[in-house]
Amino acid sequence: LLGGEVYHYHSKVIMKEAHTGGAHVWHQDYGYWYENACMFPNMGTVWVAVDKATKQNGCVQLMAGSHLMGRVDHHRIGEQVQADLSRVKLADQVCPLVYAEMEPGDALFFHCNVLHRSDQNRSDNRRWAFLVAFNRADNNPLLKHHHPQYTPLCKVPNGRIRESGTGTDMSGKDFFQGPKDDISLQKVTADKGANV
């Protein structure tokens, strides 16, 4: 999607609890990342719904096609960085507003120059999301900062795991089981009679 090899730039979890999750102002992710000396907008985000995302609980809103405008100037508003609202108002005339209502597990891929925002969660339901950002390998940040720089990964054959001879002793280890209805590692192991 980004036209070349990519690497994991960073991840985060957005946790909008019922009636408390805050709003996010209009911005482009590149409005932040440009300041990290990522010189080109060869970056993107995968927004994965952990919970159902609706207009009522503050789903992400995007201006379709706004990535083609290029980077918009941004300025600080408290702890957030906001896109120039005069430019956002102009974009609103030509870029349709899309509410990304999603089911748990749905994923939305968007370019780092897409203008987006979200409202406060005013519903009785939480709205969590897992965001993973990617950067093209040839767009390595020129300044060291809190996100990683590109490190090449060397692919090895699957059999290399068996050849390593190292194993992990799982005795005495505990795993998060999640809600009682979820399938957990221990349940799968017990049901299949497999060794882990």
- 148 falls within a domain: no
pTM of the model: 0.78
Tokens of 72: 């918009």
For 91, the domain range is: 6-136
How many other β-carbons are positioned within 10 Å of the β-carbon of residue 15?
A: 14
Structurally, the chain folds into a number of domains equal to 1
The string of DSSP letters for 45-98 reads EEEEESS-B-TTTT-EEEETTGGGG-PPPEEEETTEEEE-HHHHHHHHHHS-EE
Q: 94-119 pLDDT, tens per residue?
A: 999 999 999 999 999 999 999 999 99
Say if CB 96 and CB 60 are below 8 A apart.
Answer: no
- 157 falls within a domain: no
- 165 falls within a domain: no
Q: What is the CATH number of the domain that holds 50?
A: 2.60.120.620
Using only the alpha carbons of the chain, give its radius of gyration.
20
Q: 57-92 pLDDT, tens per residue?
A: 999 999 999 999 999 999 998 889 999 999 999 999
- 97 falls within a domain: yes
Q: 130-175 pLDDT, tens per residue?
A: 999 999 999 999 998 888 889 988 888 888 877 776 667 777 777 6
Q: What's the rounded Cα separation, in Å, for the pair 135 and 115?
A: 18
- 155 falls within a domain: no
- 187 falls within a domain: no
